[in-house]
Structure 1
Amino acid sequence: MRAVLLFLLWSLPALAQGEGSYLLGRILSLDPGRGVALVRVGGEEWEALLPADGGGFRPGQGVVLYREGERVYVTEPDRIPLLLFLLGLFALFAALLGRGKGVRGLLGTFLSLLVVVYFVVPRVAAGGNPLLIAFLGSLGVLFLTIYLVHGVNRKTTAALVGTLLSVAFVLLLALFFTRSLAFTGLASEEAMLLRQWGGVDLVSLFLAGVVVGALGALTDVTVTQAAVVQALAHANPRLGLLELYRRGMEVGYDHIGSLVNTLVLAYAAGSLPLFLLLTKDPTPLRFLLNTEPFAAELVSMVLGSLGLLLAVPLTTLVAAWAFRGGRGGPPEAHPHPH
């Protein structure tokens, strides 16, 4: 998601000024000695310049071309057909294995992407505060994903409130540590490009990424935790607020143990290039970790995991209050729409 946002932000000015155009073509033959390829575009055959290293292209391969004036460049393989096939395969398995909820989950994901593309990106590109815009966009994403997939009832409302409380707390901590650690937001090459463009608050953009990055895992754990409390309240309607909270947290402790590990590994996987620098850079480890790229990744990892830690007890408490004394009825009393 962050890559899509940054690419769109970076490409908007060039597209607005009409600097060249993109085309689709297919390679007919290669001439590595001259560094050109013969490509078919529509019904015409053109010569296009290859990258300096040849790019690893092959005859018959679909490619993306960039035309600037009289020159045409081979830029990338055309990956969209295979990506669409992969997405179709995912949608098929989601529908077959998840049935109604799987289909609603796909629809919620699609609508969430629309929120990002048509609400978040244009407003950030226009110079709006990325932090405020991302928070409002996240609110829309939460409503779409939680209510659309799981229905509108006490369980989903408790999950939504627990998620929002966790996000708000993580946001406050992110603001404090970002200022205390004197982050500039220039922790990546993409941020450097955005700085050259100007008009974007890079520190707020970093904070927005911390918040949005943890949303998916947060909604998963909060809905599950609210469902646990609902089942406990239905099994024994005499349970009060504190007893429901205590019993719900017995399951919540297992969630905390597994999900923190999951999120840390997810962040670590995205930071593998930085970790590789640890073995290549002659800078002492203590000073290398002090640099903003490493410190920013560590802050993102810890705050995202902290959001998960907080989401479990907060959601359990909200759900225990909502279902105390058997309120809300059994889980079957709120069938999801199909």
Structure 2
Amino acid sequence: MSRLKRIVEALLLLGIVILLFLTGQKWFETDRSGNIHELSGTVLSVDNSEIFQAGAGTVGNQTVLVIVNEGHWKGEQVTAVNHLNGQMDMDELYQPGDTILLAIQVKDQQITHAKAINTFRQNWELVLFILFAVALIAYSRIIGLKALFSFVASLGLLWCYYIPNLLNGADPLPLSLSVLVLLSMVIILTVAGATRHGIAAFLGTISGLAVTLILTLFFGDKLNLGGMTTPFSTTLLVQGNYGLNMQHIFYSAVLLGASGAAMDIAMDVSVSMNEIKLKRPDITMRELIQSGFNVGRMVIGTMATTLLLAYSGGYLTMLMVFVSQGTSFTRIVNMKLVAAEIFRILIGSIGLLMVAPVTALIAGVLLTAYVETSPPAKDYLETN
């Protein structure tokens, strides 16, 4: 009966994941007027006569002849413009045979204007996602399906609720806290179930985020970080979003970045303690909490360095510029952009330091309480 229950649960979760995936295009649809369509196309020929080199970049308009690959206009040839602004991180110069994304403007079902947007990468991104999903399910089985569900659901929550509300002027910090609490609940309780170690991981995560928020508000003010260090902040304001509180949006980004590692550590500690309890049902609360502390210390020992390497990897080229120019250490650490990243790393790490012991305390109490009415082994078998 238990095996049948797990099979039904797995099929239900898989069905939900597939449904969410198939409706994913609706989540990311940006134009609802019906006049603008985004379609893939193959470049047939290019005209580079109106572009010229500007240093390492390219400036001007590239004209491309493209055949549409999908939709109502499949097979039609259109002339599209590729605007080049000299920004090497954004611009793309196309060649015949390239598959690109087109934005076409339509009137009376006829294409009136076309613009080249980007290289069409969606199909290979889909292959990569499928590879990730297969590897996850092959190794983790039912837990992998639950993790996949929480992954897709979290993406939908962020894209369909969190970001639109930020753009509509909602107070970033209360909104972020509510979303992170909901995300933590969805992710942890989906994977671990409504078990005692799952609840301990959830409560430990929330406690770590509370500490992170307090530290973020205090040290963010002391370091005078205004929030314009995050990518595309200037673009967001130029587009007319002048009423946004960019400082609190930056603080929210710090919380969001720390939440994933907090959930990871909380789950590591609580699951390890649950396994110990299963193997030694007679273990005392004090011994179990001490074991949780030991696990937490080992996890924290590598997690802080993990955060440093993750952020350093994102800004590797910036660090290379500093070294090549012989920039002094004092000047580097006082730069606004660098200070913001140091702020992210250290605030996140301190928050993680709180997650491990708090989770160990909560898990120790929950896992050793009411053993008579809810044996740990039964709890484990029914939820995994």
TM-score range, shorter chain: 0.7 to 0.9
Which of 21, 41, 54 is the aligned partner of 1:25? Answer: 41
SS of the counterpart of 2:141?
Answer: helix
Relative to structure 1, the CA distance from residue 331 to residue 262 in structure 2 (aligned partners, 3 Å threshold; closer, same or farther) is farther
SS of the counterpart of 1:334?
Answer: helix
Corresponding residue for 2:341?
297
Corresponding residue for 2:207?
165
Relative to structure 1, the CA distance from residue 236 to residue 188 in structure 2 (aligned partners, 3 Å threshold; closer, same or farther) is closer
Residues in 1 aligned to 2:341 and 2:223: alpha-carbon distance in whole angstroms: 13
Corresponding residue for 1:48?
80
* Cα-to-partner distance string for 1:36-93 (whole Å, 9 max, x where unaligned): 2211132321222334479342323221124579653322101111111111111111
Corresponding residue for 1:4?
none
Amino acid of the structure 1 residue aligned with 2:289: Y
Greater relative CO, 1 or 2 (CA 8 Å, sep 6+): 1
Find out whether 1:122 has 2:164 as its counterpart. Answer: yes
Instruction: Extract unaligned runs of 5+ from structure 2.
Output: 1-28, 51-61, 69-73, 107-111
Question: How high is the TM-score relative to the length of structure 1?
Answer: 0.86
Matches within 5 A, 1:205-224: 205-224=249-268
Amino acid of the structure 1 residue aligned with 2:67: R
Question: Does the 8 Å contact 1:67/1:73 carry over to 2?
Answer: yes
* Cα-to-partner distance string for 1:209-248 (whole Å, 9 max, x where unaligned): 1111122222122112112223334445554443322232
Which of 114, 117, 120 is the aligned partner of 1:78? Answer: 120
Relative to structure 1, the CA distance from residue 266 to residue 143 in structure 2 (aligned partners, 3 Å threshold; closer, same or farther) is same
Which of 63, 66, 77 is the aligned partner of 1:39? Answer: 66
Superposition RMSD on alpha carbons, in Å? 2.7
The structure in which a higher percent of residues are helix is 1
Amino acid of the structure 2 residue aligned with 1:290: N
Which of 225, 228, 236 is the aligned partner of 1:194? Answer: 236
SS of the counterpart of 1:183?
Answer: coil
Relative to structure 1, the CA distance from residue 111 to residue 200 in structure 2 (aligned partners, 3 Å threshold; closer, same or farther) is same
Matches within 5 A, 1:1-338: 22-33=38-49, 35-41=62-68, 42-52=74-84, 55-67=92-104, 72-196=114-238, 197-237=241-281, 239-280=283-324, 284-324=328-368, 327=371, 329-335=375-381, 337=383
Residues in 2 aligned to 1:223 and 1:292: alpha-carbon distance in whole angstroms: 34
SS of the counterpart of 2:232?
Answer: helix
Residues in 1 aligned to 2:255 and 2:216: alpha-carbon distance in whole angstroms: 9
Amino acid of the structure 1 residue aligned with 2:183: V
Could you tell which deviates more after superposition, 207-216 or 282-291? 282-291
Deviation at 1:170, TM superposition (A): 0.8
Question: How high is the TM-score relative to the length of structure 2?
Answer: 0.77
SS of the counterpart of 2:97?
Answer: coil
Amino acid of the structure 2 residue aligned with 1:73: K
Calculate percent identity across the aligned residue pairs: 26
Residues in 2 aligned to 1:71 and 1:231: alpha-carbon distance in whole angstroms: 62
SS of the counterpart of 1:217?
Answer: helix
Residues in 1 aligned to 2:43 and 2:294: alpha-carbon distance in whole angstroms: 60
Instruction: Extract unaligned runs of 5+ from structure 1.
Output: 1-10
SS of the counterpart of 2:102?
Answer: strand
* Cα-to-partner distance string for 1:256-293 (whole Å, 9 max, x where unaligned): 11222222211221222432332355764312321221
